[in-house]
Amino acid sequence: MAKNEFRGVATRAKLAGHPIHPMLIPFPIALLVATFASDLAFWGTADVFWARASFWLLAAALVMSAAAAIAGFADFLGNSRIRSMSDAWQHMIGNVVAVVLALANFILRWNMESSQGVLPWGIVLSALIVLILLFTGWKGGSLVYHHRIGMHPEEPVGADPKRSNRR
Q: What is the pLDDT of residues 57-78, one digit of tens each?
A: 999 999 999 999 999 999 999 9
**pLDDT tier at 166, thresholds 50, 70, 90:** very low
Residue 142 CB-density burial (10 A; 0-12 exposed, 13-18 middle, 19+ buried): middle
Instruction: Indicate the DSSP class of residue 114.
Output: T
143, 80 contact by CB (below 8 A): no
* Confidence grade of residue 163 (pLDDT, cut at 50, 70, 90): low
Q: Looking at the predicted structure, is the pLDDT value of residue 114 above 90?
A: no
Q: Are 20 and 76 in contact (CB under 8 A)?
A: no
Is pLDDT larger for residue 36 or for residue 6? 36
Measured between alpha carbons, how far is residue 71 from residues 21, 23, 68, 121 in Å? 5, 10, 5, 30
CA distance 148 to 120: 41
Q: Which of 157, 158, 150, 155 is nearest to 3 (CA)?
A: 155
Each residue of 11-31: pLDDT tens digit?
Answer: 899 999 889 999 999 999 999
Give start and end residues of each alpha helix (H) in 46-114. Answer: 48-78, 80-83, 86-110
Question: Structure pTM?
Answer: 0.87
Q: Measured between alpha carbons, how far is residue 158 from residues 14, 32, 77, 79, 98 in Å? A: 16, 34, 11, 6, 30
